[in-house]
Amino acid sequence: MNPTVQAFFDDATNTVTYLVSDPATRAAAIIDPVLDYDAESGRASTGSADAVLAEARARGLEVVWLLETHAHADHLSAGDYLRGLTGAPIGVGNRIVETQRTFAERFGMETPPLTVFDQLFEDGDRFRLGELEIEVLHTPGHTPACVSYRIGDAVFVGDTLFMPDFGTARADFPGGNATTLYRSIQRLLSLPPETRVFVGHDYLPKDGRGDFRWETTVGAQRDGNIHVGGGATEAGFTAMRSARDATLPPPKLLEPALRANIRAGAVG
Does residue 211 surpass a pLDDT of 80? yes
> What are the structural domains, with CATH classification, of the chain?
4-260 (3.60.15.10)
pLDDT band at 161 (very low <50, low <70, confident <90, very high): very high
pLDDT tens by residue, 57-112: 999 999 999 999 999 999 999 999 999 999 999 999 999 999 999 999 999 999 99
Contact 37, 76 (CB under 8 A): yes
Does residue 268 surpass a pLDDT of 80? no
pLDDT tens by residue, 24-59: 999 999 999 999 999 888 899 999 999 999 999 999
Question: What is the per-residue pLDDT for 217?
Answer: 98
Question: What is the per-residue pLDDT for 48?
Answer: 97
Q: Quickly count: other Cβ atoms within 10 Å of residue 108's Cβ.
A: 6
Question: What is the per-residue pLDDT for 157?
Answer: 98
Q: Which residues contact 181 (CB under 8 A, 6 or more apart)?
A: 140, 141, 142, 160, 168, 169, 171, 241
Does residue 206 surpass a pLDDT of 90? no
Mean per-residue pLDDT, 179-200: 98
Mean per-residue pLDDT, 126-155: 98
Mean per-residue pLDDT, 9-25: 97
Question: What is the per-residue pLDDT for 39?
Answer: 85
Interatomic CA distance for residues 16 and 75, integer angstroms: 11
